[in-house]
């Protein structure tokens, strides 16, 4: 074989970098692929975080909606139960008045034996009604509407009280609650009914 027929090529350069099929150095291609992969990972992470946040917000909305529905049901039940409690309140007040009247009548009576038995029956009846009243009030408290009847001496608050009467008084400042004629139930946003009170006004 003559020298003219030998294949001729360029001398090998050991310092020349490897190239891809496009002629771009391979390390450039790897860096580009790595950057694209990192971008895809970042996108997936962002989507994942958004999905988690959406799921959490949905869960919170469901909890709030469930709480709202429960509050509405409790308020509806309490509103239906309130007249029963008021009737028991009136029954206790009536029994106490009758007991006091009978006690006064007994002072001028000589039939102490029969009267004593009658008073004993009335006491038992009154205690029974009081026990039922306490249970009924406990039902309202369990529904989120505790009884509000210890307001005597407090300053009148239209958010908690409803003035049903006013009495001039020189003993306490104007606007002081003198008496509670109708107990309230609940308070704030969970108020079923404000307490009906008698309020002091400035004496003439």
Exposure of 200 by Cβ count < 10 A (0-12 exposed, 13-18 middle, 19+ buried)? buried
The pLDDT value given to residue 186? 96
- Which residues are CB-contacts of 27 (< 8 A; sequence separation ≥ 6)? 17
The pLDDT value given to residue 100? 77
Give phi and psi for 107, each to the nearest 5.
-65, -30
Query: What b/e sequence results for 177-187 when a residue is b if at least 16 CB atoms lie within 10 Å of its CB, and e otherwise?
Result: bbebeebbbbb
Q: Are residues 139 and 189 in the same domain?
A: no
Provide the whole-model pTM. Answer: 0.67
**Does residue 26 form part of some domain?**
yes
**Does residue 10 form part of some domain?**
no
**Does residue 140 form part of some domain?**
yes
pLDDT at 180 over 90: yes
Q: Are residues 164 and 140 in the same domain?
A: no
Q: Are residues 71 and 91 in the same domain?
A: yes
- Which residues are CB-contacts of 18 (< 8 A; sequence separation ≥ 6)? 25, 26
Q: Are residues 124 and 80 in the same domain?
A: yes
Q: Are residues 181 and 136 in the same domain?
A: no
Q: Are residues 52 and 75 in the same domain?
A: yes
Q: Are residues 98 and 52 in the same domain?
A: yes
Domain that holds residue 190: 147-202
CA dist., res. 51 & res. 104, Å (int): 77
Q: Which of 129, 126, 187, 122 is nearest to 154 (CA)?
A: 187
pLDDT tens-digit readout, 146-156: 999 988 999 99
The pLDDT value given to residue 197? 97
**Residue 165's CATH number:** 2.30.22.10
pLDDT tens-digit readout, 2-61: 445 544 544 445 444 445 455 556 777 888 888 889 999 999 999 999 999 999 999 999
Say if CB 156 and CB 198 are below 8 A apart. no
Q: Are residues 137 and 157 in the same domain?
A: no
pLDDT at 91 over 80: yes
Q: Of 144, 161, 189, at which residue does a domain stop?
A: 144
Percent of the chain beyond pLDDT 90?
63
Give phi and psi for 139, each to the nearest 5.
-65, -45
Q: Are residues 28 and 115 in the same domain?
A: yes
**Does residue 111 form part of some domain?**
yes
Q: Are residues 112 and 195 in the same domain?
A: no
Q: Which residue has the tokens 């609940």?
A: 186
Mean pLDDT rounded to a whole number for the chain? 84
Highest mean pLDDT among 19-28, 84-93, 101-110: 84-93
Q: Are residues 64 and 98 in the same domain?
A: yes
Q: Are strands 195-202 and 190-193 parallel, antiparallel or unpaired?
A: unpaired
The pLDDT value given to residue 150? 86
**Does residue 48 form part of some domain?**
yes
Provide the number of structural domains found in the chain. 2
Does 10 or 125 have the greater pLDDT score? 125
Q: Are residues 140 and 163 in the same domain?
A: no
CA dist., res. 70 & res. 64, Å (int): 10
**Does residue 2 form part of some domain?**
no
Exposure of 89 by Cβ count < 10 A (0-12 exposed, 13-18 middle, 19+ buried)? middle
pLDDT at 81 over 80: yes
The pLDDT value given to residue 119? 63
Edge-to-edge, what's the strand order for the sheet holding 147-148? 147-148, 184-187, 190-193
The pLDDT value given to residue 105? 66
Task: Place 101 in a pLDDT band, splitting at 50, 70 and 90.
Answer: confident
In this structure, the dihedral spanned by the alpha carbons of residues 123, 127, 130 and 134, taken in order and rounded to 10 degrees, is 170
pLDDT at 72 over 80: yes
Q: Are strands 195-202 and 161-169 parallel, antiparallel or unpaired?
A: parallel
**Does residue 7 form part of some domain?**
no
**Does residue 4 form part of some domain?**
no
The pLDDT value given to residue 160? 94
């Amino acid at each position: 074989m003559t020298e003219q027929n030998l294949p001729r090529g360029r001398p090998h350069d050991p310092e020349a970098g490897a190239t891809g099929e496009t002629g771009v150095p391979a390390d450039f291609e790897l860096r580009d692929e790595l950057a694209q992969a990192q971008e895809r990972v970042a996108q997936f992470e962002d989507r994942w975080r958004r999905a988690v946040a959406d799921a959490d917000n949905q869960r919170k909305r469901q909890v709030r909606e469930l709480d709202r529905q429960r509050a509405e049901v409790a308020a509806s039940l309490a509103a239906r139960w309130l007249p029963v409690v008021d009737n028991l309140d009136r029954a206790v007040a009536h029994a106490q008045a009758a007991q006091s009247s009978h006690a006064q009548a007994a002072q001028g009576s000589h039939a102490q034996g029969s009267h004593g038995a009658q008073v004993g029956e009335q006491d038992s009846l009154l205690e029974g009604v009081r026990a039922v009243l306490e249970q009924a009030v406990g039902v309202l408290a369990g529904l989120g509407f505790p009884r509000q009847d210890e307001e005597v001496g407090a300053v009148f608050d239209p958010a908690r009280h409803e003035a049903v009467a006013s009495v001039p008084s020189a003993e306490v400042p104007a606007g002081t609650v003198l008496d509670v004629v109708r107990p309230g139930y609940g308070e704030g946003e969970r108020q079923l009914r404000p307490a009906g009170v008698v309020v002091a006004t400035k004496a003439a």
